[in-house]
Amino acid sequence: MSNAVEQLSWWRRWATQHRVAAALLAGLVSTHLATVFGFWLGGVGMMRLDWNTSQGWVFVPFATPLQKFLVGGLSHYVDGMVFAVLFACALQPALRWRNTVRGNLAKGLLFGTLLACISISFMTPFVFAPARGLHPGSLSLDFGWKYIVGVFLWHWVYGLHLGLIYSPAEQRAGVSEGHTADSEKAAVAA
């Protein structure tokens, strides 16, 4: 077995045994990667997505730009971690696709799509835009196609990384990734 496969198997076993911790870690990393991606969108002609400052406008509207960025960033990262735990505890197990790497990526992509739909239909028009005195219209359409595509891309980056990092192993009647429950207990006892 190659070293890469061993590392993947180790991680997937750990994620299976520590679902909440793995979800929190996956949420933190996925949120960070997607947040950086959102900043870079402006460099390729799309609308730059700065969710940190957007959330800062909601929670501390009269603060300095730095305070808005920091308070909003804290809220944004906590949101990403909470949604990751929600994904791990509710949606991921409910989807009956196998817990293969591809299956978990597909589950993450579906979750990202769901979050993007919520973002453009509710969060932007009723929370983030009004905090700045803006009116994006129904489904955020008044912000233009670059905003909507950017929101979907951002959430797909989040969802794909969430599915990649939070990737529990297949659970089958006492068998997990080729290991029996007895062999796992023996390894822990040793």
User: Quick check: 185 pLDDT over 50?
Assistant: no
pLDDT in tens, 102-131: 999 999 999 999 999 999 999 999 999 999
Q: Which two tokens stand for residue 135?
A: 């009116």
Q: What is the per-residue pLDDT across 132-174, written as a single tens digit (0 to 9) for each?
A: 999 999 899 999 999 999 999 999 999 999 999 999 988 765 4
